[in-house]
Structure 1
Amino acid sequence: MTPLVVRPEPQNQALCRALAEAGHRPVASPLLSFGEGAELPRLPELLGTVSPRDYVIAVSVPAVTFADNVLKRQGLAWPACGYVAVGETTGRALAAAGVTGITVPEDPRSEGIISLPGLQRLAGCRVLILRGDGGRHLIAPTLAERGAQVDYCEVYRRHYRPDPDGSLVKNWQSAGVDSIIVTSGGLLTHVFQLATAQAKEWLLSRLLIVPSIRVADSARELGFTQVINAEGASSQALIAALDERKRNDRQ
């Protein structure tokens, strides 16, 4: 198959290499990069007030990466407390940073996070949510209703690649893209917005591989008709989902 890979670097190159090794013809088109968030300088101070009974929630790999980098620059360690990672990939990033006591909900949506047993009774607890610019609005008010003092820390910002002349989508069409691998809701929205009205029908008819139920639901709401939930954002999970479709097409 000829999948379009839009995830940021360096994950884009790694996924394309793995796809090629699996016999696919990937088209690399990174649409997202990250920069330091406006509140990143406050992170050491915020983490310094976290106690063992408190929680830190990391919503993505970039949230972990930017937070860990600033702690390393200042010679600081992650505090001893409860940690929640949104997704297995984020959990692995926290573990690689030396964090222990990580909980990863089976459902990576906000609903899965607020359903965790450890987050039901939070009177007197603090919860620090490490995130990018915007998103995950359900978590904070729900946890606050349960008694927690909730703080956000915008540790990174997203920068989406523009396409003012429409050349990106035309290049995808010329390359014979038959499938698209999208690893976040933000990327899904951006891909959809890049397509002109004339290209929307082509885009929506592509096979779409997504990492979670949340993104799958969003894709169907936009009008995508062929959506496969890979149940993870790792290269292995994404390729397995694509290979399963390829095998089914041959039968």
Structure 2
Amino acid sequence: MIPLVVRPEPQNYSLCEALRRAGHQPVATPLLRFAPGAGLEQAPALLSELASGDYVIAVSVQAVNFADNALKTRGLPWPDVTYVAVGEATGRAFAAVGVTALVPDDPRSEGMIALPQLQDPAGRRAVILRGDGGRDMMAPTLTRRGARVDYCEVYRRCYRDDADGELVKQWRRLGVDSIIITSGGLLQHLFQLAANSAKDWLLSRLLIVPSIRVVEQAKTLGFTHIINAKGASDPALLSALDERKRNDRQ
């Protein structure tokens, strides 16, 4: 198959390499990069104020990496608290900086707030490391449970533009038959990039997404051929695409 891969680097490169090894012909077009967020400068001081029993919650790999760089710049360690990662990839990012994190089976905000360790946070502090925008489920839920919560936007998203529509024209010329999407934000941006004349083409592509939430978002936009990979890791995305490839051969 000829899947379009729009996730940011370096994850784009690693996924495309895995796809090539599996016999696919990926088209790599990163549509997103990350830059320091408005709260990055305050992150070290905010984390240093935490005490044993408090929480640090990261909603992405980028949240961990940007915060870690900020701490290292000031010669500060990660605090001795309870860590929560949204999914396996974010858990591995924590492990890479020497931190052990709780990882829910459900890689969403819903999965994190369902963890037993977050059911009674009354009197404790929680710092949520994230990018600009994002969902607002975690803070209200933890606040209702008695925690004092601070959002810390350590990075911001910078989406690639395509004012002249050349990217979409290129994808069509290369015969893209499927699209691998790893977040709702990327899906929305991709949809907005397609000119009105290309909407039908875009919506007719096979779409590989990481979660049921993005499945529902894709349906709302008009996509009809959708596979839920149930994760954003390279193996999960590759397995979902290979499943479709096997079914096509039968």
Superposed CA deviations along residues 32-75 of structure 1, whole A, max 9, x for unmatched, are: 00000111010111011111211111000110110111111222
Deviation at 1:105, TM superposition (A): 1.3
- Given the alignment of the two structures, is residue 34 of structure 1 paired with residue 51 of structure 2, yes or no? no
- Tell me how far apart the structure 2 counterparts of residues 212 and 89 of structure 1 sit (CA, whole Å): 14
- Tell me how far apart the structure 2 counterparts of residues 221 and 204 of structure 1 sit (CA, whole Å): 11
- Given the alignment of the two structures, is residue 227 of structure 1 paired with residue 239 of structure 2, yes or no? no
- Tell me how far apart the structure 2 counterparts of residues 234 and 181 of structure 1 sit (CA, whole Å): 11
- Tell me how far apart the structure 2 counterparts of residues 110 and 6 of structure 1 sit (CA, whole Å): 23
Aligned residue for 1:108?
107
- Given the alignment of the two structures, is residue 156 of structure 1 paired with residue 155 of structure 2, yes or no? yes
Q: 2:16 corresponds to which letter in structure 1?
A: C
Aligned residue for 1:175?
174
Stretches of structure 1 lacking an aligned partner (at least 5 in a row): none
Aligned residue for 1:130?
129
Q: 2:248 corresponds to which letter in structure 1?
A: D
- Given the alignment of the two structures, is residue 210 of structure 1 paired with residue 209 of structure 2, yes or no? yes
Counterpart of 2:236 in 1: which secondary structure? helix
- Given the alignment of the two structures, is residue 188 of structure 1 paired with residue 187 of structure 2, yes or no? yes
Contact kept, 8 Å, 2:107 with 2:231, in 1: the verdict is no
Greater alpha carbon shift after TM alignment, 181-190 vs 227-236: 227-236
Q: 1:142 corresponds to which letter in structure 2?
A: T
Deviation at 1:190, TM superposition (A): 0.5
Kindly report which structure 2 residues correspond to 1:11-90, keeping only aligned pairs within 5 A, or say none. Answer: 11-90=11-90
Identity %: 69
- Tell me how far apart the structure 1 counterparts of residues 157 and 55 of structure 2 sit (CA, whole Å): 25
Q: 2:117 corresponds to which letter in structure 1?
A: G
- Given the alignment of the two structures, is residue 141 of structure 1 paired with residue 140 of structure 2, yes or no? yes
- Tell me how far apart the structure 1 counterparts of residues 127 and 106 of structure 2 sit (CA, whole Å): 20
Counterpart of 1:237 in 2: which secondary structure? helix
Greater alpha carbon shift after TM alignment, 229-238 vs 140-149: 229-238
Q: 1:16 corresponds to which letter in structure 2?
A: C
- Tell me how far apart the structure 1 counterparts of residues 81 and 173 of structure 2 sit (CA, whole Å): 51
The structure 1 segments of at least 4 consecutive aligned residues displaced by more than 4 Å after TM superposition are none
Contact kept, 8 Å, 2:125 with 2:149, in 1: the verdict is yes
- Tell me how far apart the structure 2 counterparts of residues 218 and 195 of structure 1 sit (CA, whole Å): 17
Q: 2:123 corresponds to which letter in structure 1?
A: G
Superposed CA deviations along residues 159-217 of structure 1, whole A, max 9, x for unmatched, are: 00001011111111111000000111110110011111221111111111111222222
- Tell me how far apart the structure 1 counterparts of residues 28 and 109 of structure 2 sit (CA, whole Å): 30
Q: 1:226 corresponds to which letter in structure 2?
A: H
Deviation at 1:94, TM superposition (A): 0.7
Number of residue pairs matched by the alignment: 250
Q: 1:155 corresponds to which letter in structure 2?
A: V
- Tell me how far apart the structure 2 counterparts of residues 53 and 139 of structure 1 sit (CA, whole Å): 18
Contact kept, 8 Å, 2:3 with 2:24, in 1: the verdict is yes
Deviation at 1:4, TM superposition (A): 0.1
- Tell me how far apart the structure 1 counterparts of residues 107 and 213 of structure 2 sit (CA, whole Å): 8
- Given the alignment of the two structures, is residue 247 of structure 1 paired with residue 233 of structure 2, yes or no? no
- Tell me how far apart the structure 2 counterparts of residues 185 and 68 of structure 1 sit (CA, whole Å): 25
Q: 2:103 corresponds to which letter in structure 1?
A: V
Q: 2:163 corresponds to which letter in structure 1?
A: P
Q: 2:162 corresponds to which letter in structure 1?
A: D
- Tell me how far apart the structure 1 counterparts of residues 81 and 219 of structure 2 sit (CA, whole Å): 38
TM-score, length of structure 2 as denominator length? 0.97
TM-score, length of structure 1 as denominator length? 0.97
